[in-house]
Amino acid sequence: MPSDGRTRHAERLCALDDIPDGEGKGFTRPGLGDRGDFFVVRRGAAVYGYLNRCPHAELPLDFVPDQFIDRRTGHILCAVHGATFRVADGSCLSGPCPGTALDPVSIELRGRSVFLTDARASGCQLQARSESGGDPMEDRPNRGSS
Ligand code: FES
């Protein structure tokens, strides 16, 4: 639980083992980007989430569903024009969109389960429990790792 007394609601997406180590898995939830499409990449016991929208032409990265990783390099790959992105922070490593990055989605690993904790997703909103009534969007996480 965040230290300010707020509880972040979360939605379980899948078991960690449902995502092969070093690969990714796509999901759809309203509220995340234009279409609600995002994906989670697993690296051992770490998970990273990003919108499934390439910063180059705003197209989905996976031509074949759930194929987000370039098996040669281990980086995230956009199948449209071949841009690659660093798994840990989504920054562009090569291709036609230098200086850009994937849009992170907040994902957490709890035990052996992968949870969506991004406040933009419908049904996955922050709820303030503090007496102050502060803005629950203030502490919205913006990184997709746990
Ligand atoms: S749409 Fe991804 S590299 Fe062009």
Q: Which pair of structure tokens corresponds to residue 49? A: 């989430």
pLDDT over 70 percentage in the chain = 77
Which of the 8 DSSP states describes residue 74?
-
Banded pLDDT at 122 (limits 50, 70, 90): confident
| Superfamily of the domain at 7-125 | Rieske [2Fe-2S] iron-sulphur domain (2.102.10.10)
Give CA–CA dist 82/136, Å, rounded: 38
Phi and psi, residue 94, nearest 5°: -160, 160
Structure tokens belonging to residue 98: 């230098």
Ligand 1 neighbour 54 (Cβ under 6 A): yes
- Residue 6: is its pLDDT beyond 80? no
- Residue 72 CA to residue 59 CA, distance in Å, equals 22
Q: Which of 54, 58, 68 to mutate to test the pocket of ligand 1 (most atoms within 8 A of CB)?
A: 54
Q: Is the minimum distance from the CB of 13 to ligand 1 under 6 angstroms?
A: no
- Domain chopping of the chain, boundaries: 7-125
Task: Please give the C-alpha separations between residue 105 and each of 22, 23, 27, 142, in angstroms, as whole numbers.
Answer: 18, 17, 11, 7
Higher per-residue confidence, 7 vs 123: 123
Residue 7: CA count within 13 A, CB half-sphere: 4
Atom 1 in ligand 1: residue holding the nearest Cα: 57
Which helix or strand (DSSP H or E) is residue 107 part of?
strand 107-110
Look at ligand 1, atom 3, and give the residue with the nearest C-alpha: 81
Are the beta carbons of 85 and 48 closer than 8 angstroms?
Answer: no
Of all residues in the chain, what percent carry a pLDDT higher than 90? 71
Where are the strands (E) in 29-90, listed by range?
37-43, 46-51, 76-77, 84-85
Q: Quick check: 65 pLDDT over 50?
A: yes
Q: What is the pLDDT of residue 111?
A: 95
